[in-house]
With several copies, the nearest count.
Chain A
Amino acid sequence: MYVEKLNPKDYEKLYYYLYLTRYADELICKNYKQGMLQESHHSCQGEEAIAVGSGILLGKDDYVCPSLRARGYFYLKGATLKEMMAGMYGKVTGPSRGKNTSHHMGDMDRGIVCGSGIIGGALPVAVGVGLGIKKRGSKGVVLVSFGDGSTSRGDFHEAMNLAAVWKLPVLFVCENNRMAMGNTIEGEMAIDRVAIRADAYGMPGVTANGNDVLAVYEATAAAIERARKGGGPTLLEFTTHRWTGHGVKDADAYRDRAVVESYKQDCPLDNFRKVLLAKGILKKRDLDRIEKAAMKEVDDAVEYAVQSDHPPVDIVATNVYV
């Protein structure tokens, strides 16, 4: 059991980032509705445990390429909430001074791989990063995350296959919320578990509860160890739910409200809180303290974003080439 190695500081960190992700997301959705944000936002409420529970395992030599709903990875790999938030507001203090969005930001120095707005398009790139890791002789891994719907794309297939043939240190992390925009999983695939797809490539496929941050941690830790030892890629499927519409503008009118509400009974934060309190790892007042700190970081970041300038127009045509 890898989770046994977690110490109280780790638990604090997990809870901190779970809470921060949730609180930031709620604020973003609220501010978006007030017309203050530029970036098209895809809420990760209810899905926070996946990025947080796996992202916390990534070290300095590791890379991550987050999906559009996987904000946690950014924070855990050192992107500041300030720059992320500035990105959402389209400010010059955001990623690449406003040229890229925050949810696809790339920063190789911090191990963050630029995503693609073309669903699935980042997977072959992540495999290339994995190839680079191997060529360097490093013990690093690259984690690329994506949704269940993304697994229908040809690029998913080509990337999975190539990573498996070359035994590259790539973790394919699927956030299975059983929805792709307005399509349900039955309209996406004729199988019930995405992890089955791993067999087609001769790589291990694991399904775990994506709303249990410790289950995410456990499954990811095993896959990382395997990859570091040269065992090659793993497909990790984390089951979860989408609480909101697809994007901030989506009224989600095509889903049964009662069903969506029921998802909220399986809240990754609540789930974790219960474990922390029951096992006495953290006390209620610890949680309060952590929450307050996280809220402050978020509020500061929003303030920073609001105060920041818009990009100066004279940078628009710079740095197309190096």
Chain B
Amino acid sequence: MTILSVRQAIREAMREELLRDDKVFLIGESLGPYGGSFKLTEGLLAEFGPEKIMDTPLSESAIVGCSVGAAMMGFRPIAELMFADFVTIGMDQLVNNAAKMIYLHDGALPLPLVLRMPEGGGATMGPHHSQCVESWILNIPGLKIVLPSNAHDAKGLLKSAVRDDNPVVFIEHKLLYNEKGEVPEGEYTVPIGKAKVVREGKDISIISYSYMVKKSLEAADILAKEGIDAEVVDVRTLRPLDVETLAESVRKTEKAVIVHEAPVTGGAGGEIAAVLQEAAFDYLDAPIGRVGALETPVPYSYTLEQAYLPNTQKIVDKVKQLVTR
């Protein structure tokens, strides 16, 4: 085991995949000499050269579309959007080309494309650089959507994504980049489509993903002191969703709260709640709760942004409300 930050873990995954498979290349803005806006690709240009670390003009639609075309030619692009908010300008290429290409070839054409993007608030980056976008593309069959919560998973899931013959949207949380964790020394992957119980408990299931797993674990610690034994489940992949692992947890605890950073209304939590109330209906002892951001754009100033975001205390409060119902 070594200790790596999520940033390092993702960089290692890209580096190892670049070394492993000649078809892999990186494409995006200022990845090369600049090293990426969050320094994810630092050092890679020196090692792999400009044919593998490709800096594009400021054209997100072209980045995604060009990656689709290159994937159709048998290459395995790892494309980066500097901020997930920019998926709005790559949306057509992602939704109408990447997601549909395999089906439109009736399976005769693989589309090995990874689209990486950092999302989330907490860094006073304002309304256009802080959004959580996963629910915007959750209703798109043909995509896989992965959101790691820690260094181990980030590396293992990204390697799986690169080797996947389907388009994978890989959503990172910018506050995770400096979070450190244990990562195995050698080669490993984490399968796409498997959730993970990251803390066992019996009173309630806190179901979460990405940066909010950290907050959920903090909440569980606080709750433990008050005698509430919360289980924390990391969804890891939103599409396909590992309903079984989630449902099993809820059938055991009989209560659930879903936590994500996006605003509640229309967020991915709705889908998870809908699926779980179906899969565990006869076990549920309380309505499934949801914790998320407020129903506003992401405000810029620190004070307002912190009020906007979900946090440990809001999770604790919601859990207590459900447990003492």
Contact = CB atoms under 8 A, between A and B. Distances in A.
A297 interface: no
Contacts of A158: 57, 59, 61-62, 65
A319 to B, nearest CB: 3
A104 B306 CA distance: 21
A315 B66 contact: no
Contacts, number: 261
Contact of A128 (B66, B294, B300): B66
Interface in A71-130: 90-92, 94, 96-101, 104, 106-108, 113-114, 116-130
B57 A161 contact: yes
B70 interface: yes
B59 A108 contact: no
B106 interface: yes
Interface residues of A, number: 72
Interface stretch (A12-20, A21-29, A131-139, A262-270): A131-139
Contacts of A113: 69, 72
Interface stretch (B12-20, B84-92, B146-154, B181-189): B84-92
A189 B57 contact: yes
Nearest to A190: B57
Count class of interface residues, chain B: 35 or more
A38 B124 CA distance: 6
Nearest to B104: A100
A310 B301 contact: yes
Contacts of B105: 96, 100, 106-108, 114, 319
Contact of A124 (B33, B62, B74, B300): B62
Contact of B65 (A127, A250, A312): A127
B104 A125 contact: no
Given A124-B69, A159-B65, A316 B296 contact: yes
A113 B62 CA distance: 16
B64 interface: yes
Interface stretch (B1-9, B93-101, B211-219): B93-101
Interface string B235-252: 000000000000000000
A162 interface: yes
B69 A108 contact: no
B307 to A, nearest CB: 4
Interface stretch (A44-52, A177-185, A202-210): A177-185
Interface in B102-150: 102-111, 124-129, 141-142, 144
A124 B93 contact: yes
B198 interface: no
Contacts of A122: 97
Which 3 A/B pairs are nearest by Cβ-Cβ distance?
Answer: A128-B69, A124-B65, A182-B34
Interface of A: 38-40, 90-92, 94, 96-101, 104, 106-108, 113-114, 116-133, 135-136, 149-150, 152-155, 158-159, 161-162, 165, 180-183, 187-189, 246, 250, 254, 310-313, 315-322
7 contacts: A124-B64, A149-B57, A162-B66, A311-B301, A313-B307, A316-B296, A322-B165
